[in-house]
Amino acid sequence: MNPTATHDAPLETDVPARLDRLRWGRFHTLVAVGLGITWLLDGLEVTITGSIAGALKSSPVLHLTDAQVGLAGSLYLVGAVVGALFFGWLTDRLGRKKLFTLTLGLYLAATAATAFAPGLVTFVIFRMLTGAGIGGEYAAINSAIQELIPARYRGHTDLVINGSFWLGAALGALGAVLLLDMGWVSAELGWRLTFGLGALLGLGILVLRRWIPESPRWLMLHGRIDEAEAVVADIERRLGAAPPTGPLPRLRLRPHALTLADVARTLFRDYPRRTVLGLVLMATQAFFYNAIFFTYALVLGRFYGVADADVGLYLLPFAAGNFLGPLLLGRWFDTWGRRPMIVTTYLLSGGLLFATAWLFVQGWLDARTQTVAWSVVFFFASAAASSAYLTVSESFPLELRALAIALFYAFGTALGGVVGPWLFGSLIGTGERSSIGWGYALGAALMVIGALAAACLGIAAERRSLEDVAAPLGSRT
């Protein structure tokens, strides 16, 4: 009979040590692809809405206005925030596997329904539900990835998965160009097929996720030690891992039912420095990123005369820089260390944006050189932004890992999705390069503040087990 959360006797297990001793194998690749696809899907969804705005406005069925296109984008973000909080709470209570299956199913159904939307009301409702699915995914899959990937690979893996958002962005831009600009299908059918693309990807991944087990760490925390050890044994079998040559460190804990008081006490009493660090890193990168990304099309169009139909092509080098940054720099977060790499990438992001802002204000850039400059800036900024998510996801105890991810994600999304685009949209509306330059300077200064916060408050989590970085609540009783 499996132990349950009702037992008072402490439990002992070597599950975390067995997971962290493993070398990378096909199982870990399956986890990274099958769960990490969420970031690609989010990039796809965000880009699609901007790329097909013209088709949505000219649609004989929807005939949306600019304000209504903006409303759909805002409600997508609202859905993401609400979904992250609600499903993040459920993920810690019901398990990682149940929720990363449920949230992907919600995304798949909602984005497919969007392709058949008959009017504005249904369109924005389905967009909000799509966002809820993606927001819930962030909490469920980030916690599962953190708990299944061995400690020495955790940083690089997490950064590359976060950076895959930009593969989705490039895919969305290319899909919009092929389906709308090449004239292969009508514009009305084309925008509907672009949403169908996301549904097809989601369906394939839903099948793939059947082979990903429940997190043994989550099972362990809920007193289901026998099940946790059986899952670890199956992972070891799938990887062909040899048995340990000696005894491994064992964790002693009591299953602990999480309460809101636990959450508040953990964030504000036990780990206040980590809470401040997470908030600063998430807020600064969210403003920096979303302010520029959501308005780059306006800059290209107003100041460089780039046609709306060609904007998607300028996204491709921008997306390449954003993906290559985490891919090439990620390993240094596991070797050189979290704190020095976070400080370095935040500082470089801020400094390079200062330089880009000055060149822009002086009028020394054209559409191509502006895009190159942004690509270089975000080569480093993408790694910096991904490290903010990494910091939040590994800094707090396992019992509230998914909820902590959801809280910080919701904060960053709400701030970056509301304040940044609104401010920069207003600055672009002035038509003055100097006004936009001051906005860029603000974003750069915020990244420098993030670097200072990491220098003062950062933790050395590289190559350490999650239980060592933050002891489970149940191990303290």
> At residue 114, what is the residue type?
T
First to last CA, the chain: 23
Q: Which residues contact 280 (CB under 8 A, 6 or more apart)?
A: 449, 450, 453
Q: What is the pLDDT of residue 10?
A: 82
Which of 1, 17, 406 lies closest to 250 in space, CA to CA? 17
Cα dihedral: 428, 299, 315, 137 (round 10): 0
Q: Which residue has the tokens 């993906």?
A: 323
Kind and range of the H or E element at 374?
helix 367-394
Cα dihedral: 459, 463, 468, 474 (round 10): 110
Q: What is the pLDDT of residue 55?
A: 76
Q: What is the pLDDT of residue 336?
A: 95
Q: What is the pLDDT of residue 109?
A: 93
Q: What is the pLDDT of residue 309?
A: 64
CA–CA separation, 146 and 164 (whole Å): 16
pTM of the predicted structure, to 2 decimals? 0.88
DSSP string computed for 187-198: HHHHHHHHHHHH
Which of 149, 135, 158 lies closest to 215 in space, CA to CA? 149
| pLDDT averaged over 10-residue windows placed end to end, the chain, 477 residues | 52 93 95 88 76 76 79 84 92 92 92 91 93 88 90 94 88 73 70 82 85 94 93 95 86 84 93 95 87 74 80 82 95 96 98 95 93 94 94 92 89 72 73 86 94 96 94 78
